[in-house]
Structure 1
Amino acid sequence: MGNLNLQPAASSTPKKQVFKRTCCKKETPLKVLKINFQSIKNKQQEILISTKPDIIIGTETWLNKDILSSEFFTMMDYTVYRKDRPPSTNNLSYGSVLVAITTNLLSEEIRDLQTDSESIWVQINMTNARKLIVGSYYRPQSYNSTSIEQLKTSLDRINQNAKSTIILGGDFNLDI
């Protein structure tokens, strides 16, 4: 397998677009928190309480299907979308990703973007703005070019004509 070229063939500077919440008395910019939990079970929730992010992009949650999101997020405050890694032979879960969206925003998982990579994709419909697509991606440290190829597949599936804005956060574990 050859070296994976991570340099873009071309790039541009997008027009600045400000996403604002309109749920409140006044419009305020969205707060986005990207966090590598390395086990959400061992983390204190002060960061969530103090920053009150609208969007949380999380990697390495170490959660599995037997652990409820409500153990970490108040369901009245956040809608949580997760992709958990199956437990290992010693019944431990590593990796895994999540996107948590404040319940003040209308959101839904985009299942058409799912691949075999550790990623989760969510669409947020914003008032007076483009659709916002938020993704969380984790590539394990053991190099696997298939994971990056699967991420590219997800990105290629995004409808270019929809004029959506994409926020992708994650832990790419790239050896650059």
Structure 2
Amino acid sequence: MKHNWTTTKLIAVGAFGVLRVLIWLPFVAINISTSSPLLLIFSFFFFSLISVFSLLTIRQFGTVTIQTFVEWVLELPLPSIAFMPLLFAAAIIRALVVDLLFFFLRTKEAAASIVCGGANSLVLSALTYVVYLVMGIPGTQTIPSAIFTPIGLLLASTVVFDLGSTGGYTGYLVYKKMANTAVMRRIQGAQ
């Protein structure tokens, strides 16, 4: 496998960014129609799946960061609150955390998938909530005050981490199923 960035790897990362946008749109529509940001946590499963799958496929530091940047560029023309500097900064921080975790755990694929998926969801939910509060996004105040007790925070964090780690492990399983296909060998640069 080639250990540097190739055009094929960059195209694959871009494709993963497009996939994230396509998955994100229905969740944003549900969020807007119900004014409940809590429903967005279900998208974390899919985001973690895509992030871990792309990390295992590309195996380069910065994979999720580039994927996030592509995702945000694609969301520019969409009529949503997506491209705001504060949200963009939060997304890049989340991507860097996931990239760093994978960099340190890359030799243990299954553990890296679970940890990266869970961290992806946990950091994304915390940063998104803070940014939504700062920006005054409608519906943020509807989150029950029971969550903001020590037990509530532990429970909410556990649920979000479990959703993300389940998505991450599912991404690992999908990668293992596809690891020896011609498409994967082409993306990874194997001869």
TM-score, structure 2 length as denominator?
0.30
TM-score, structure 1 length as denominator?
0.32
Greater per-residue helix proportion: 2
Greater per-residue strand proportion: 1
